[in-house]
Amino acid sequence: MPFYMVGASLFVSNIGSEHFIGLAGSGAAGGIGVGAWEFNAILLLQLLGWVFLPVYIACGIFTMPQYLSKRFGGSRLRVYFAVLSLVLYVFTKLSVDLYTGALFIQQSLGWDLYLSIIVLILITAVLTITGGLAAVIYTDTLQAALMVSGAIALMIIGFVEIGGYDGLVRKYPGAETNLTVPNTTCHETSPNAFVMLRDPTDEEMPWPGFLFGQTPGSIWYWCADQVIVQRALAAKSLSHAQGATLMAGFIKILPLFIMVMPGMISRILYTDQVACVDPDVCYEVCQAYAGCTNIAYPKLVLGLMPNAARGLMMAVMIAALMSDLDSIFNSASTLFTIDVYKRIRKRATVRELMVVGRLFVAVMVVVGICWVPVVKETQGGQVFIYIQEITDYLAPPIAAVFLLAVLWKRCNEKGAFWGLMVALVAGLTRLILTFIYRAPGQCGEEDTRPSILADVQYMYFAILLFWLTTIVAIVVSLATPPLKPDKLHRTTFWTRHDKNMCNIPMLEEFGRKIVTSDLQLDVEGGKKDANIQADISDEQTDGDVEFQAESKEKTLTSKEQKYAVENKEAPAV
């Protein structure tokens, strides 16, 4: 795929309905602070393009667990990462997307929330199952143009309505509902509404917590998440992949202006509904007791856009939702079938893997629907902040391991594994306590949480997890034998151009033995080496389809393998 299609797909795969609903809702609740995530993504996309992608392409991987298996050996890291990614997909992506997409349709058409969810799932399933990744990327390109143009139009109309940016600055601080809860300040707007990175003691956006805690969680998403990386790997070359990250980073400037600020405008225009604080009033407005800031964007669309344009914006929101869901379905199916199921059923046929992948997606959907009631009542109804909190309890250790894997050749499998396990125990403990001792969700509700929850903001806890993983991984790696040199062959940033053809394993694709020759050893220069390693053993088979770029795959018998070794070339089949 050319860079502009991949770049559009990267943007649209990230910008789903949870961004339109979540960013606008958090903007209505607390101002522009939530926009910091979007600017952070600009830098992390370049980290993906210029540090991680050269390694991924050089070693020829298809999935992120596959990279861990090639870099460290064994299977436990691969299986652990695949399972963790699937858990994050269900609880931070799928359930949120289902809720936010259905919320927009419910507000627009008056449909039942769960009926809207089912209809959207059916439409997205048809697209994903019949088209696969190629169809996803083609539709993403069209949807990107539709989403951006529609959102810009609404932003312009909104600013005209309130008197431009100057009107936003003057009117937002006074956008407080008259229906308040006595003896509380829930109805007041944040005094730091126009400050992005705030004081270290701020409960929403402390700058040290964001820079050093939230960033590792975002590194996982942008540099090691299957949904994002899978699109970048679909580029026709490394240069096109890097161009795609530059393009997507440029477009990521827009969400602050086309999503966050429109949410603030919506609070100004529809204060009593968007900024409601009385639980009973909120439930009447949006069927949630925690608050109704999530309806800020749909409310703005329905209130300001002319009838014909409302249909356009409906298409924009459905496009955003479908793009996100088809990305999740496609990537989750790939992770489960290749990195989990195929390790149990090594001789599974292609047809069996397709059926199992679709059945797994159906199970994911059911679990995601069941989790929707939790999503809409957490973090004061701010779904975007809910996503970040859950991610920060599980993702920073993954970011630490991938950074060590790519940048530090001495890191071994034992170090990475035990670093992840120690951090997993800490992260799960905090996560379980978070759901046992819920944060005050309604205005005036007393905070009865233990001090470790009430006093340690989740971004600061993410710092702890990241460095705990890093320290344990370094100590254990140094205390145990280093990896064999073949595990470093083109799997780190420093060895990505390695031409030493040592220990090329026999490969297995759905039960078919293959060996790879004519490998593209220099990704940028296109240089090739046809040497084939003599020592090939079944024990090195890991069920992977290795060396994705510019390779020739030939089925060999034992005699043909011997011939290839002696003559340093693979005979024609």
pLDDT value, residue 248: 92
- Kindly state whether residues 339 and 463 are assigned to the same domain: yes
513-568 per-position pLDDT tens digit: 333 333 333 333 333 333 333 333 333 333 333 333 333 333 344 444 444 444 44
pLDDT value, residue 148: 81
- Kindly state whether residues 270 and 391 are assigned to the same domain: yes
Q: Which two tokens stand for residue 571?
A: 């005979």
Is 492 domain-assigned?
no
- Kindly state whether residues 523 and 556 are assigned to the same domain: yes
Is 452 domain-assigned?
yes
Is 273 domain-assigned?
yes
3-state secondary structure at position 384: helix
Nearest to 424 by CA among 400, 404, 459, 452: 400
Q: How far is CA 367 from CA 245, 250, 332, 364, in A?
A: 33, 35, 14, 5
DSSP state letters, 76-99: HHHHHHHHHHHHHIIIIIIHHHHH
- Kindly state whether residues 523 and 464 are assigned to the same domain: no
Per the structure, the complete domain to which residue 506 belongs is given by: 499-567
pLDDT value, residue 256: 93
Report the distance separating Cα 532 and Cα 534, nearest Å.
Answer: 6
pLDDT value, residue 570: 41
Instruction: Tell me the one-letter amino acid at 453.
Output: L
Is 42 domain-assigned?
yes
The low-confidence residues of the chain, meaning pLDDT below 50, are: 132-133, 501-573
Report the distance separating Cα 212 and Cα 384, nearest Å.
Answer: 19
- Kindly state whether residues 389 and 451 are assigned to the same domain: yes
Task: Indicate the residue among 408, 442, 476 that finishes a domain.
Answer: 476
- Kindly state whether residues 450 and 533 are assigned to the same domain: no
Is 199 domain-assigned?
yes
Is 315 domain-assigned?
yes
CATH number at residue 183: 1.20.1730.10
Is 493 domain-assigned?
no
- Kindly state whether residues 138 and 101 are assigned to the same domain: yes
Total count of domains within the chain? 2
Is 563 domain-assigned?
yes
Instruction: Give residue 23's Cα distance to chain centre.
Output: 16
Q: How far is CA 346 from CA 246, 353, 359, 511, in A?
A: 39, 11, 18, 7
Task: Indicate the residue among 476, 510, 528 that finishes a domain.
Answer: 476
214-233 per-position pLDDT tens digit: 998 899 889 998 778 988 88
- Kindly state whether residues 397 and 531 are assigned to the same domain: no
- Kindly state whether residues 558 and 412 are assigned to the same domain: no
Q: Are residues 275 and 186 in contact, defined by beta-carbon separation less than 8 angstroms?
A: no
Task: Indicate the residue among 443, 476, 509 that finishes a domain.
Answer: 476
Report the distance separating Cα 260 and Cα 252, nearest Å.
Answer: 12
- Kindly state whether residues 528 and 406 are assigned to the same domain: no
Residue 74 CB-half CA count within 13 A: 13
- Give residues with Cβ within 8 angstroms of 269, minimum separation 6: 161, 162, 299, 300, 303, 304
- Kindly state whether residues 412 and 304 are assigned to the same domain: yes
pLDDT value, residue 303: 87
Residue 169 CB-half CA count within 13 A: 5
Instruction: Tell me the one-letter amino acid at 103.
Output: L
Q: Are residues 6 and 244 in contact, defined by beta-carbon separation less than 8 angstroms?
A: yes
- Kindly state whether residues 131 and 245 are assigned to the same domain: yes
Report the distance separating Cα 540 and Cα 73, nearest Å.
Answer: 9
Instruction: Give residue 304's Cα distance to chain centre.
Output: 32
Report the distance separating Cα 243 and Cα 202, nearest Å.
Answer: 37
Residue 484 CB-half CA count within 13 A: 9
